Amino acid sequence: MSGHPAPDPQELLAVAEEVAAAAGELVLTGRPDRVEVAATKSSPTDVVTAMDHASERLVAERLAVLRPDDGFLGEEGGHRPGTSGLTWVVDPIDGTVNYLYGLRSWSVSVAVVSDEVHGAGRPDPATWTVLAGAVRDPSVDETWTAVRGGGARVRRGGSPARPLRCPEGPELGATLLATGFGYDPQRRAEQAAVLARLMPRVRDLRRIGTASLDLCAVAAGRVDAYYELGLNPWDFAAGWLVAREAGAVVTDFTGGPAGTHGLLAAGPRLHPVLQRALAG
Ligand code: LIP
């Protein structure tokens, strides 16, 4: 961040909360009775709606005013480098298919990262540091927030934000497990095979369809663990910090940095047990 003052984490969090709330309000109140698919990406079922684009535009425009020197990495618009050493990582609608179908579990996910290795280049989850993050769930008026080293909180409506503490985790047989699946048929077959091995060994499964909310659910103990292969950086950047700051262990499937190649989040006692179970 040459020539730029060290960022105040609380100021960054306030910006993340503000832009996530504004975009969440747009997406919630602007939902037409029938949401149309505007485009598809990696497969015919990997869809983008006009609201994905509108939400990302709103966030980018607000950040251009509030944080003009920072970079931007969004699901729909790609990467725009900045000069401050910070990059905002944004999923304008995480859980787009849920939104398309009128299901409630979707969010606006906003995180800000620094990356000493990549500097002004596109940040990489393997080397980035997530400084602050906000996951806005307008359907239930919940906002999940975290600051690096400053803990994680959830606020519902006008109530004060309450601190999050991830439970240690139950035995495997009592584990309520969350996961997700990719859009590619071959990958889904492989993911189903992994799940088939796990299902007899856990309590039950939840498939929320929104990685950021899966991670916040782990932070709050609403599920005991979440794993997924093939996530995009914007899917998990903010939720990763919420879970980590709540005390969850969040890695890839081998104990390294979480990324597109794998993400596993669970309480400290359950994480190694589930890591072994996933390894077969
Ligand atoms: C979604 C993720 C979810 C995954 C879906 C999809 P999107 O992100 O949050 O965990 O299972 O396949 O990738 O595409 O709605 O932003």
Cα separation values, 211 from 45, 62, 75, 197, Å: 17, 24, 14, 22
Q: Is residue 3 part of a domain?
A: no
Q: How far apart are CA 90 and CA 123, in angstroms?
A: 12
Q: How far apart are CA 242 and CA 83, in angstroms?
A: 26
Answer yes or no: is the C-beta of 210 below 6 A from any ligand 1 atom: yes
Answer yes or no: is the C-beta of 94 below 6 A from any ligand 1 atom: yes
Q: How far apart are CA 272 and CA 267, in angstroms?
A: 9
As a three-state string, the secondary structure of 32-82 is CCCCCEEEECCCCCCEEEHHHHHHHHHHHHHHHHHCCCCEEEECCCEEECC
Does residue 20 contact residue 12 with C-beta atoms inside 8 Å? no
Residue 8 Cα to ligand 1 midpoint, Å, equals 31
Q: How far apart are CA 244 and CA 250, in angstroms?
A: 6
Instruction: Pick the atom of ligand 1 nearest to 106's CA.
Output: 15
Are residues 112 and 205 part of one domain? Answer: no
User: What are the φ/ψ torsions at residue 278 (nearest 5 degrees)?
Assistant: -70, -30
Cα separation values, 16 from 72, 77, 194, Å: 13, 18, 35
The pLDDT value recorded for residue 78 is 83
Residue 210 Cα to ligand 1 midpoint, Å, equals 5
Are residues 249 and 199 part of one domain? Answer: yes
The pLDDT value recorded for residue 1 is 46
Q: Is residue 2 part of a domain?
A: no
Residue 235 Cα to ligand 1 midpoint, Å, equals 7
Residue 94 Cα to ligand 1 midpoint, Å, equals 6
Answer yes or no: is the C-beta of 228 below 6 A from any ligand 1 atom: yes
Are residues 221 and 144 part of one domain? Answer: no
Q: Is residue 200 part of a domain?
A: yes
Other C-beta atoms closer than 10 Å to the C-beta of 60 total: 19
Q: How far apart are CA 170 and CA 88, in angstroms?
A: 35
Q: Which of 230, 235, 270, 234 is nearest to 252 (CA)?
A: 230
Are residues 145 and 210 part of one domain? Answer: no
Q: Is residue 181 part of a domain?
A: yes
Q: How far apart are CA 126 and CA 257, in angstroms?
A: 6
Answer yes or no: is the C-beta of 209 below 6 A from any ligand 1 atom: yes
Q: Which of 247, 276, 92 is nearest to 175 (CA)?
A: 276
Residues 6+ apart with CB under 8 A from 199: 205
Q: How far apart are CA 78 and CA 74, in angstroms?
A: 5
Strands 47-49 and 37-40: antiparallel
Give, for all 280 residues of the chain, the pLDDT tens digit. Answer: 456 777 899 999 999 999 999 999 999 998 888 878 788 888 888 878 888 999 999 999 999 999 999 999 999 888 999 999 999 999 999 999 999 999 999 999 999 999 999 888 899 999 999 999 999 999 999 999 999 999 999 999 999 999 999 999 999 999 999 999 998 999 999 999 999 999 999 999 999 999 999 999 999 999 999 999 999 999 999 999 999 999 999 999 999 999 999 999 999 999 999 999 999 8
The pLDDT value recorded for residue 42 is 84
Answer yes or no: is the C-beta of 52 below 6 A from any ligand 1 atom: no
Q: How far apart are CA 90 and CA 22, in angstroms?
A: 13
Residue 73 C-alpha from the chain's centroid:
13
Which residues constitute the domain of residue 226? 172-279
Last residue of a domain, one of 111, 135, 163: 163
Query: What is the edge-to-edge ordering of all strands in the sheet holding 142-147?
Result: 78-80, 71-74, 86-94, 107-114, 129-137, 142-147, 151-156, 162-163
Residue 208 Cα to ligand 1 midpoint, Å, equals 9
The pLDDT value recorded for residue 2 is 53
Q: Is residue 4 part of a domain?
A: no
Q: How far apart are CA 78 and CA 245, in angstroms?
A: 27
Q: What is the pTM of this model?
A: 0.95
The number of domains in the chain is 2
Q: How far apart are CA 137 and CA 29, in angstroms?
A: 13
Last residue of a domain, one of 108, 135, 163: 163
Q: How far apart are CA 141 and CA 180, in angstroms?
A: 23
